[in-house]
Structure 1
């Protein structure tokens, strides 16, 4: 991963936790694979100073913690960075990232892996530039801020059309474009990608379908806004027994074959081999996150 720190999410379910609610930190860490301690949207402006104090005093596992800081052009950004650098955390999420320079400057200031949150029109059209920046470890995208910045009203269809293209709960075209562009930009520059939150907490089927689709597109994780979403996301990202068995068979056969070969009547080449490796990484992550943590 050229130009990026080595921090990688250890599992697929990343749970937001308001930074001004320190009593929730440990609970979130116990439930999710990664806690995103949020100094931005989850905290009212009047409570951000207290939130930064709580962050400084926190003792979460640095391998499983991300801190979201306010955008570069806000009055809270510098104070957020001061609080972050007083901790031992190794990954910082930059809200409303819009340029490679912002990412590189943040990396230079903190030495931490930067997760660039692409959630504005300018950020989306510069997704490739942002992904290429030294210090960028991963990309995430956000639907609601993107639509709000465009003067839109909602990122998803709310009414289904019988026999038509609209399905209630599915993304509209612009968010779908942003989601795809972020995944492509991350892959092009060897970064990992995190899928956006599913705001309808009660829509378990929609959350599951979206997480399964994220896996198919190469996302390494999905952000959650409620603890109940964690299990759904983990289940979606974990390969089933048949997938794992096939992946093991492919990798074992590849040790004795060079180039293209056939296995059980199917052609196996470089892309299939890499897919098998990805399946085994997801299986390993699923095993790790089910192990109880202190």
Structure 2
């Protein structure tokens, strides 16, 4: 149990909208049923009941629960324990103790830690080392808010340096411990070109998935994570050449060594996983 394998496009769905559960599952690779930010205080109880009775595929569904410091944390965990789902996204994860509380409450659970506070980002390595953690995600808006800031993006629309640092740290921690790194949501719903570009960078950097808050982002994400036919063909030819030529060799004017071979293997694996 080391990695989350649900596909590249993960779609959040409010836990108090069971009428949307199946639609979200049809649109995305996996659904994140949300008991935290997407659900108002008056609807929390109804959302937990909806989670308990949901009939989605457990292998393609996770539940985001409130942070360990929230009043509804234990109630969220109780709802998951009574449900068919065993993958939990822990909001505002900040310590191994937070993960231990999830593990104690939900038998057989797999945990995705959402590092979206300063403490959570600084704890990324210890969180990634936990045996029940399969993935790490980062969140820009909550992170900047936890620092007293007002925006994760600068006037050009690019992430501020602190957000880029957090993104890199979560990616490195996930990679160091063999977990899946999940890139943050994109808040600009209408900018599909930007969503595709951001997902392209995520895939090229080593993220295994990207989360979405709107179904319109699913297609750009999938397209970004799927290697092109030309990339897939080149990767296969590099690997075939490596079988005939041990050690470092030249391929179409480029030097190929073990890091390049690992890149090629990653391309082939992603292409095959996505039906390429």
- The DSSP-based 3-state class of the residue aligned with 1:11 is coil
Give the CA deviation at 1:253.
2.5
Q: Scaled by the length of structure 1, what TM-score is found?
A: 0.90
Partner of 1:164: none
Q: Please list every run of 5 or more consecutive structure 2 residues that lacks an aligned counterpart in the other structure.
A: none
Partner of 2:150: 153
Give the CA deviation at 1:7.
5.6
1:171 to 136, 151, 159: 159
Partner of 1:291: none
Q: How many residues align?
A: 275
Partner of 1:182: 170
RMSD, matched Cα = 1.4
Give the CA deviation at 1:284.
2.0
Give the CA deviation at 1:176.
0.8
Partner of 1:240: 228
Deviations 1:87-133 (A, max 9, x none): 22231100000012222332343221110000001011111111111
Change (3 A) 1:105 1:260: farther
Runs of 4+ in 1 over 6 A off after TM superposition: none
Partner of 2:129: 132
| Structure 2: distance between partners of 1:129 and 1:213 | 26
| Structure 1: distance between partners of 2:100 and 2:256 | 39
Change (3 A) 1:25 1:174: same
| Structure 1: distance between partners of 2:245 and 2:77 | 51
Change (3 A) 1:108 1:254: farther
Structure 2 contact 10–31 (Cα < 8 Å) conserved? yes
Give the CA deviation at 1:13.
0.6
- The DSSP-based 3-state class of the residue aligned with 1:255 is helix
Partner of 2:140: 143
Partner of 1:228: 216
More moved, 8-17 vs 179-188: 8-17
Change (3 A) 1:243 1:33: same
Give the CA deviation at 1:268.
1.9
Q: Scaled by the length of structure 2, what TM-score is found?
A: 0.95
